[in-house]
Chains A and B, each alone.
Chain A
Amino acid sequence: MKSLLMSLSFLLFTVCSFAQEKPLPFDERGKLIYYEVVASNETPKDSLISRALAFLEADSKKFKISAIKGDTLVEATGKMLISKSALGMARPMGAVDYSFYTEVKAGKYRFWLTDFVFVSYMRDRYGNFVPETTIGIPLEREQGKLRVAEWVGYQKITAREAKAIADQFKTALATRIYTLQSKKPKNTISTKKW
């Protein structure tokens, strides 16, 4: 008996879509903002601040601490790269510079990312991507018809990346995964006692 030889071939298709993401809201100044207040009853205020500093210092290419006000407020600047990727390949479209603030109180802390500014990138004579200009465009600024789709894309990516940074930050403050650099060298053994 012949068995039916069944071959199923699936269609090759291309999906190009943006996932549904929550857009960033506006603050009182009309600026886009990612804002969150987190309850933290178990961790003292001092520990929250030191963990926040450790988080920001752990990646100096992403964050630069600009001010520490008293022992409750930390201000920093950040940069997120916006890339287009497909099939494991990517190219930078631009970067979004932003301000990062965190403030602690007894029992809770808050943090927010705002002042998002988009700087477009271009390919230089050596094939490397570099900023096209030194003055970026605020991300909340409305764009003309020719550019609105592209601009909405940048806003969506920024919202997603801000959420990812927020999740990492909350984890860092909850779990001490980042610590301020200690001066003790790694992998040391004591030869004094044997």
Chain B
Amino acid sequence: MKLKSLVTIAALTFTTATFAQEADAPLQISGSADAYYKYDFAKRPNIGTSFGSDHNSVSLGMLDLALKKTTGKASFVGELSFGPRGQYQSILNGDGNPSNSDNSFHIQNLYASYAFTDKFSMTAGYMGTFIGYEVIAPTGNFNYSTSYLFTNGPFQNAGIKGTYAFSDKVSLMVGLFNDWNVYQDFNGVSHVGAQLMVSPIEGWTAYLNVLSGTSNGATNGTVLDLTTSYQVTEKFKVGLNAADYSLDGGGGYGGGALYLQNAFTPGFALGVRGEMFTFKSTGPGTSKDIAAVTLSGNLKSGGLTFIPEIRFDNDSNSSFLKSDGLTATKNASQFSLAIVYAF
């Protein structure tokens, strides 16, 4: 039998990357990747704020991938993260069950939204917190190191919330939330939160936030938070974050951070963050005041941002250590270089 000659043509598959105006709300995929080098002048890790923790090492931040899809009035967002910053430094392993204690879910955001009207929408799922100025993804912060307010506040708030936009200038969010940062709430959904957004003039937006409830195994706590930023000119921006967290029976924290940023050119900006932070007393001699000043540069080219940074912290309780690892000191300082790529 003659074999017929078969001509197999593999379909040509090619990828074209084109810029086009969004018309049908296709699936959005975005993300970031970051790495850093940090040198603490005490030759040991000293400053205990989140991320960038390794001393004298070229280290990983995280690889972050976010998917978003909108169909009509419904949308979903799923955000996965990998690496130290995206796993054990920002999200808990497992669901609180000891057998899952080494099992990271890698989930930073997983929620769905429905816009009932142009003004009212509801969202439910596991979400980045609405509290505070700084965020987990390095693309959302000017400075690479984080503030004490960020480190000690909530990272995620799973729950259900409704948002009503009275106008472009005023909106209100109210919701019920799990305990801070957990995938599963073991004492029931017991936190109530709200956010009032006001934008009095163009360029100025302020968020007044409150989150109150009793976490599993803890006393009732309430955090009040003000986050605001003002684009003063095309080049100069001012930001402010002030928060107070109080627990029944003592403890919590309070503080404020001021952010000043100036974009000298579209590719180069300098920013300084000044922070005053207090750990509230839980007993005699347990309160602690910390002041921190951070100077960061942002050099941008396309999606890449290079962040050189220097930071000075002062702790009233002398919780830092000198290079011998034994002698307490009030002062700590560090220098870092970070690369952050957003896509």
In chain B, what residue has the closest Cβ to A120? Answer: B266
A144 to B264, CA, bound (A): 11
In the complex, the answer to whether A12 meets B14 with C-beta atoms within 8 Å is yes
In the complex, the answer to whether B5 meets A5 with C-beta atoms within 8 Å is yes
Among the listed stretches A35-43, A50-58, A103-111, A126-134, which one makes contact with chain B, having 4 or more residues with CB under 8 Å of it?
A126-134
In the complex, the answer to whether A153 meets B234 with C-beta atoms within 8 Å is no
Give, as a whole number of angstroms, the nearest-CB distance from B239 to chain A: 12
Give, as a whole number of angstroms, the nearest-CB distance from A44 to chain B: 33
* Chain B residues, Cβ within 8 Å of A83: 19-22
* Chain A residues, Cβ within 8 Å of B127: 126
Name A90's contact: one of B3, B22, B137, B234 (CB within 8 Å). Answer: B22
In the complex, the answer to whether B68 meets A128 with C-beta atoms within 8 Å is yes
In the complex, the answer to whether A135 meets B109 with C-beta atoms within 8 Å is no
In the complex, the answer to whether B4 meets A3 with C-beta atoms within 8 Å is yes
* Chain B residues, Cβ within 8 Å of A147: 266-267, 300-302
Among the listed stretches B27-35, B249-257, B279-287, B314-322, which one makes contact with chain A, having 4 or more residues with CB under 8 Å of it?
B27-35
| A 135-155 contacts with B by CB, 8 A | 135, 137, 143-144, 146-147, 149-150, 153
In the complex, the answer to whether B8 meets A84 with C-beta atoms within 8 Å is no
Give, as a whole number of angstroms, the nearest-CB distance from B229 to chain A: 9
From B10, B22, B79, B267, name the one whose CB has the most chain A CB atoms within 10 angstroms. B22
* Chain A residues, Cβ within 8 Å of B4: 3
In the complex, the answer to whether A91 meets B29 with C-beta atoms within 8 Å is yes
In the complex, the answer to whether A125 meets B140 with C-beta atoms within 8 Å is yes
In the complex, the answer to whether A3 meets B266 with C-beta atoms within 8 Å is no
In chain B, what residue has the closest Cβ to A161? Answer: B21
Chain B CB within 8 A of A191 CB: no
* Chain A residues, Cβ within 8 Å of B187: none
In the complex, the answer to whether B30 meets A85 with C-beta atoms within 8 Å is no
In the complex, the answer to whether A149 meets B26 with C-beta atoms within 8 Å is no
Chain A CB within 8 A of B6 CB: yes
Chain A CB within 8 A of B15 CB: yes
In chain A, what residue has the closest Cβ to B205? Answer: A134
* Chain B residues, Cβ within 8 Å of A9: 8, 10
In the complex, the answer to whether A86 meets B15 with C-beta atoms within 8 Å is yes
Give, as a whole number of angstroms, the nearest-CB distance from B33 to chain A: 13
* Chain B residues, Cβ within 8 Å of A164: 21
In the complex, the answer to whether B9 meets A91 with C-beta atoms within 8 Å is no
A90 to B4, CA, bound (A): 44
A192 to B101, CA, bound (A): 73
Name A82's contact: one of B19, B77, B202, B231 (CB within 8 Å). Answer: B19
| B 16-70 contacts with A by CB, 8 A | 16-22, 26-30, 32, 66, 68
In the complex, the answer to whether B19 meets A85 with C-beta atoms within 8 Å is yes
Give, as a whole number of angstroms, the nearest-CB distance from B146 to chain A: 13
A interface list, Cβ under 8 A from B: 1-10, 12-19, 80-93, 122-129, 133-135, 137, 143-144, 146-147, 149-150, 153, 156-157, 161, 164
Given contacts A1-B2, A144-B267, 13 further A-B contacts (CB under 8 A): A3-B5, A5-B5, A8-B7, A12-B12, A81-B21, A86-B16, A123-B140, A125-B130, A127-B78, A127-B128, A147-B266, A150-B302, A157-B19
10 nearest interchain CB pairs? A125-B128, A146-B301, A127-B77, A3-B5, A134-B203, A146-B267, A127-B66, A9-B10, A83-B22, A3-B3
A selection of 24 A-B contacts at a CB cut-off of 8 Å is: A3-B4, A5-B5, A7-B7, A10-B10, A12-B12, A13-B14, A14-B14, A14-B15, A86-B17, A87-B15, A89-B28, A90-B26, A91-B28, A92-B28, A122-B140, A123-B32, A123-B137, A124-B135, A126-B127, A127-B68, A127-B77, A134-B203, A137-B234, A147-B300
